[in-house]
A and B are shown apart, each in its own frame.
Chain A
């Protein structure tokens, strides 16, 4: 009997643990409070620099393709992704332009020529500036677990939806900033970008956006 109780207790314990790790829907009050906090924090962010690791997950591969580098943002809308490993490649979003530096080879294009880039850019910049909760563009749902708040964006735009099924932003509960961006192409294939070593309002030189 004692063994039975112990087993049941153990199972309950595991269930409890898995429940803790699981996502739960936020209540309406929590959503209002969460959005308010993110906006408050975001208004104080004038610049941001962070390291990132990107994991490209494709269902048929045995492991994710890992790339990494630095991301920098500066108000009002300058954003740079700089891949350092395993190759040097940077992409800058600035004044409606996309500037690419591929191992020293530079090129430029208008954001308007790449709707997807424009939308992703808007979303990432938006998540920092607090203007991302746009119900016109996305169907948004709000979740939480023990340590994070998670927002899921399903594009309403049919063209964008063809490429990105869903975008998930994970926020640190403590400082209400984004720690992970997940772009789902299908249920099996996605890109997960983990942001770490974040520095808020550090000096970010304008020259990196050139």
Chain B
């Protein structure tokens, strides 16, 4: 093969991969957009104290504690993570546009960790997604929302009309999966946040204290 042909093939392949759509979309079929907004119910009620037992696995290390979230005003959630004893490990305030660290213990005070949790919690607590496209497969409706240069895909089951998964991805790769298990569709009893680019998994199980 001539050098120029090889060069052409390489550039062509590069072009194809860089323009390629996410693998996730290959399994789906585009349909007409029903709504331009999707409201997530799971952390939306300002009257509920959302408290979960949290198990975090990061690069083979396990840690656990209590994850607490509350909508403190129409745009902001307060998020606190404590040990089982109740010692506060971190305390954040998160909104679409703002992020504030109220406190964090020295052991966790690492920029990379704070930024990762900020992304995760922002996605987890987001109440309203603007939908650009709608896709589907036989069982689910999938709403595609833009997130800067990245995307969020919201998977809603057709039978129960229940949001059970959010996939955060770049143009080519899935980065974060959030899986929800909800009985009543307004509250998630179990949540799993799984990262694909780093070895991080957060599992939240609702604390039924009463």
Q: Which of B47, B62, B66, B106 contacts A62 (CB 8 A)?
A: B47
Stretch at the interface among B4-12, B33-41, B147-155, B202-210: B202-210
Chain B positions 31-86 with a Cβ under 8 Å from a chain A Cβ: 47, 49, 51, 53, 55, 62, 64, 66, 68, 70, 72, 78, 80, 82, 84-86
Q: Which residues of B contact A (CB under 8 A)?
A: 47, 49, 51, 53, 55, 62, 64, 66, 68, 70, 72, 78, 80, 82, 84-88, 105-106, 205, 207-210
Q: Are B49 and A163 in contact (CB under 8 A)?
A: no
Q: Are A91 and B84 in contact (CB under 8 A)?
A: yes
Q: Which residues of A contact B (CB under 8 A)?
A: 54, 56, 58, 60-63, 65-67, 81, 83, 85-87, 89, 91, 100, 102, 105, 107, 116-117, 120, 162-164, 183, 185, 189, 191
Q: Are A61 and B85 in contact (CB under 8 A)?
A: no
Q: Are A60 and B78 in contact (CB under 8 A)?
A: yes
Report the nearest A residue to B207, measured CB to CB: A86
Which residues of chain A are within 8 angstroms of B86 by Cβ–Cβ distance? 54, 56, 183, 191
How far, in angstroms, from A20 to B47 measured CA to CA in the complex?
36
Which residues of chain A are within 8 angstroms of B87 by Cβ–Cβ distance? 116, 163-164, 183, 185, 191
Report the nearest A residue to B210, measured CB to CB: A66
What distance in Å separates the Cβ of A162 from its nearest Cβ neighbour in chain B?
8
Question: Lowest 3 A-B CB distances belong to which pairs?
Answer: A191-B86, A56-B86, A61-B49
How far, in angstroms, from A56 to B64 measured CA to CA in the complex?
16
Q: Are B68 and A105 in contact (CB under 8 A)?
A: no
What distance in Å separates the Cβ of B130 from its nearest Cβ neighbour in chain A?
28
